[in-house]
Amino acid sequence: MIGSCNTNTPVFIREKRVGNLQILAPILNLILSYNLNIMNMIIYEVNLSIELELESAFIPWLKEHIEEMLKLKGFVSASLLKDVEDITMSANWVVQYKIESRMDLDNYFDNHAKEMRQAALDRFCDGFSATRRILNIES
């Protein structure tokens, strides 16, 4: 009886461990995927110089535009920042979009950028200028 107990115990433990691994595997997969996504995240930065007379109309429109951008695949969050030091002939604003991957940003460039940019040009013509940067999140 003792021998059969000892024989059964390792089998039971082995099955239990396999069962636990089967339960934990999807959770570990999610954790690893999440961490890899964080490592691949990027910032897409848009620097805007807006004529002072247009700023009061431009910023509410820009906030709606940002909400539309955040509906796109991979766009996680956005920050709207105002440059409070350089107020000469124009108001300077920065939008920083946090994006899950470069692939999602490329999808935006290929399928949405032209129409999203055109919406601003149609409404504000040459009353603003924009420069853009792509930054890797390192930590």
Three-state SS sequence of 14-75: HHHHHHHHHHHHHHHHHHHHHHHHHHHCEEEEEEEEEEHHHHHHHHHHHHHHHHHHCCCCCE
Q: What is the pLDDT of residue 7?
A: 47
The Cα 95–Cα 50 span in angstroms is 13
pTM summary value:
0.71
C-alpha count within 13 angstroms, C-beta hemisphere, residue 81? 12
Phi and psi at residue 87, to the nearest 5°: -115, 85
Dihedral Cα 56, 61, 62, 63, nearest 10 deg: 100
Give the contacts of 70 (CB within 8 A, at least 6 positions apart).
76, 77, 78, 97
The continuous run of DSSP H or E covering 110 comes out as helix 102-111
Q: List the pLDDT tens digit at each of the 139 positions of the chain.
A: 455 444 444 444 444 555 666 676 677 666 655 555 556 899 999 999 999 999 999 999 999 999 999 999 999 999 999 998 877 789 999 999 999 999 999 999 999 999 999 999 999 999 999 999 999 988 7
Looking at residue 33, its pLDDT comes to 56
Give the model's pLDDT for residue 123.
Answer: 95
Residue from 133, 44, 38 nearest 97 by CA: 44
51/93 Cα distance (integer angstroms): 11
